[in-house]
Amino acid sequence: MTISPTPRKDVYDTYWYFASERQSIFEKRLSGQTGPWTDDPILREYKFCNVYRAADRVSQYMINDICYNKEASTPIDRLFQIIAFRIFSNIETWELLKQKLGKSPTITNLVDGSFEQTLNDIKKETSKLYTGAFILCATNAYGRQLKHRNHVELFKDMFINQDLGLNILKAKSLKQIYDLIHSFPLMGDFMSYQIAIDLNYSDLVNFSENKFTKAGPGALRGIKKVFENTNGLSPEEVIMWMVEHQDEEFKRLGYNFKGLFGRKLHAIDAQGLFCETDKYCREAMPDLKSARTRIKAHYKRNPQPIELFFPPKWHINETVTISKS
């Protein structure tokens, strides 16, 4: 890429600082060190996502318990499970679904109505089916009034009416998978991209994460803070530019960034880092105005441990030897 964006220097350097320091926190926790794991008061006070999306708690559940669970499953059922779980992104909801159905939901449960009825029952019990991490399209696209019932109709449309599962299995690129998902009602730009990445974690889909990306709302805010001018580059091109320049920037700033067990930042991670940099700057550089002015979530340690596991095709599980709590 010959064109380069023009950095807003302090903020640009903060992007790389945040990546290095947040990853250092992750590594110190893995090694069993007791907190606090940083001298940075902002990182100690507030909740930030991991540098690598795949290392976050919900993504770890996705990889471990959805993409590579030990249940016998058809490829189409597995694709349905991946998409359905990401829509809710709520581990408790999924565990209750499995408990009440006796197994992970399948297309058969979608057809016979037991998937929807079980969601109805869970909603009565917990009232919270969804995570608050994503802003979902809330249109009444399928005329079912309640959000989860619209999503049930979406899944039927995808897997029964439109053969989405077969089309995903025939796809030739990550972008093609994104386009397939994005063609459905309720599937906005960012959620379609997130689902494409989740599908790509599985052994049913295998494309480079650096061939296609999509900037979410937080990343767009971060890009505006990090750069004075993108010089005509699209947000997606800016993200790819960061991926291409990561080694030289970490070296320039003197950060010993080792990646995720040797795995470099990919586009999905660089995209997420723009979002987290935007959040960090709300406290570190409050004069940089954006649509968000404060960080909502304070850090609270989750005592439930995670046994780290990544897609086997990444070839890094051999070096993952410690659990994260």
Note the pLDDT tens digit of each residue in 236-245. 999 999 999 9
Mean pLDDT rounded to a whole number for the chain: 92
Q: Residue 45: what residue type?
A: E
Please give the pLDDT value at position 323. Answer: 43
Please give the pLDDT value at position 321. Answer: 58
Q: Enter the DSSP assignment of 299.
A: P
pTM for this structure? 0.93
Higher per-residue confidence, 311 vs 134: 311
Element (H, E) at 156: helix 147-156
Element (H, E) at 310: none
% of the chain with per-residue pLDDT over 90: 81
Per-residue pLDDT tens digits for 42-79: 999 999 999 999 999 999 999 999 999 999 999 999 99
Higher per-residue confidence, 127 vs 202: 202
List the domain boundaries for the chain.
Answer: 8-55+223-229+240-319, 69-201
Tell me the chain's radius of gyration from C-alpha atoms: 20
The mean pLDDT value for 176-186 works out to 97
Pairing of strands 6-7, 227-229: antiparallel
β partners of residue 311: none
Per-residue pLDDT tens digits for 83-122: 999 999 999 999 999 999 999 999 999 999 999 999 999 9
Q: Which residue, 237, 216, 218, 227, is CA-closest to 290?
A: 218
Please give the pLDDT value at position 45. Answer: 94
Strand runs labelled E in the chain: 6-7, 227-229
